[in-house]
């Protein structure tokens, strides 16, 4: 049975590779193939989770993982919408018959998480091209702002009112107010002052170098705006030889919330910009993170006392965009030190 699954998975991977290269607009076909892998659990045996397989697929096909997830999520969103419509006697076109970008459908899917009725009203207008992607995005931003405002209000209410807020605004937003866990900002401060998360070598050197840069922008090409790496650590203290001026680049992505971790499909795009890639989580997310990370990624845990525990050691890989990472870091450091207000 395992061999049969492996064979089917390999066949689908070949089909996806050809499809992504020859027909980039056929997002629906890509979705159906990826959905089969998830539904039939064809990834089992080689990977711990569907997400781990998706990360590996992106690496194999040299395709941005966020783009793969965008196609998958668009297909999943449309499948859920079709199921709701069919349940009330309405028919919908096949996903392969749609002549529309997956981006707008994905945004409708985000709206559906908060308001399915609104999403179901928007979807036909999106499919008929009565609403642009900008229109749908604006609707999503308005809903997100409303939920954000409710979350801010939650910080000042008594515990006895907390339950009703959770029912109204959702537990995810109330959970963000939990002060018993380390925050992402505190994680950044911890890595700024600690090298305990990797095993530094200590040959005699003229000067040991270790410094971190937060929110380092990289331009992966999947969005107009830069994506930002949480932490980039630059160091020579992990070098075995003292006579080197080369700095190793460690990228660390912080996650303190379960949903934020599971719904982040962009972090794999940071890997070509560093020598080692690490996922840093709170202790309660370690088991979930193990099923998420791709082969070669490292896993770190930071508790509320800011103790760093290495869980899985990162493996060194080719840093394809080293010069760009250096350049962005230098620009950010220079701007911070020499910025002049006019």
Please give the Cα distance from 262 to 175 (Å, whole number). Answer: 16
**What SS3 class is residue 282?**
coil
Rounding to the nearest 10 degrees, give the CA dihedral for residues 19, 22, 24, 28. Answer: -40
Residue 218 has a pLDDT of 81
Domain residue ranges in the chain:
2-63, 70-151, 184-338
The DSSP H or E segment spanning 124 is helix 116-127
Give residue 194's pLDDT. Answer: 87
Check residue 323 and give its pLDDT: 92
Q: What is the pLDDT of residue 134?
A: 86
Model pTM above 0.85: no
pLDDT for 231 equals 94
Q: Give pLDDT, residue 311.
A: 95
In a structure prediction context, what are the per-residue pLDDT tens digits for the chain, which is 342 residues long? 668 888 999 999 999 998 887 776 789 999 999 999 999 999 998 898 999 999 889 888 888 888 899 899 999 999 999 999 999 999 999 999 998 889 899 999 988 888 899 899 999 999 999 988 888 888 888 877 777 676 666 555 555 555 554 455 444 444 444 555 788 888 999 998 888 887 666 655 567 788 999 999 887 665 567 788 999 999 988 777 655 668 899 999 999 998 889 888 888 889 999 999 999 999 999 999 998 898 899 999 999 888 999 999 999 988 989 999 999 999 888 876 654 443
Any residues with CB less than 8 A from the CB of 121 and at least 6 apart, and which? none
The pLDDT value given to residue 67: 86
d(CA 322, CA 274): 7
Tell me how crowded residue 174 is: count the other CB atoms within 10 A of its CB: 19
């Amino acid at each position: 049975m395992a061999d049969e699954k492996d064979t089917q998975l390999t066949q689908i991977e070949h089909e996806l590779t050809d499809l992504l290269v020859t027909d980039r607009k056929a997002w629906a076909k890509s979705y159906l193939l990826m959905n089969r892998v998830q539904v039939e659990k064809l990834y089992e045996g080689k990977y711990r989770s569907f997400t781990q397989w998706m990360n590996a697929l992106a690496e194999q096909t040299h395709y941005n993982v966020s783009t793969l997830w965008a196609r998958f999520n668009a297909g999943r969103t449309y499948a859920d919408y079709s199921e709701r419509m069919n349940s009330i006697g309405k028919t919908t076109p096949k996903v392969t018959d749609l002549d529309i970008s997956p981006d707008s459908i994905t945004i409708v899917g985000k709206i559906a998480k908060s308001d399915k009725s609104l999403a179901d009203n928007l979807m036909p207008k999106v499919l008929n091209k009565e609403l642009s992607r900008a229109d749908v995005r604006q609707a999503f931003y308005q809903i997100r702002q409303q939920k954000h405002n409710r979350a801010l209000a939650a910080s000042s209410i008594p515990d006895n009112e907390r339950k009703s807020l959770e029912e109204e605004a959702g537990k995810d937003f109330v959970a963000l107010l939990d002060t018993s866990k380390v925050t992402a900002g505190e994680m950044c401060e911890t890595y700024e002052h600690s090298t305990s998360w990797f095993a530094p070598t200590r040959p005699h050197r003229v000067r040991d170098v270790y410094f971190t840069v937060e929110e380092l922008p990289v331009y992966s090409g999947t969005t107009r705006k830069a994506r930002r790496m949480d932490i980039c650590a630059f160091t020579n203290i992990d070098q075995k030889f003292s006579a080197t001026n080369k700095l190793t680049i460690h990228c660390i992505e912080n996650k303190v919330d379960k949903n934020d971790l599971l719904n982040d499909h962009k972090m794999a795009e940071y890997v070509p910009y560093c020598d080692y890639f690490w996922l840093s989580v709170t202790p309660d997310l370690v088991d979930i993170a193990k099923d998420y990370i791709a082969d070669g990624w490292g896993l770190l845990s930071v508790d509320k006392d800011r103790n760093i525990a290495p869980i899985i050691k990162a493996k060194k890989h080719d840093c394809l965009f080293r010069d760009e990472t250096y350049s962005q870091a230098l620009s950010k450091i220079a701007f911070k030190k020499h910025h002049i207000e006019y």
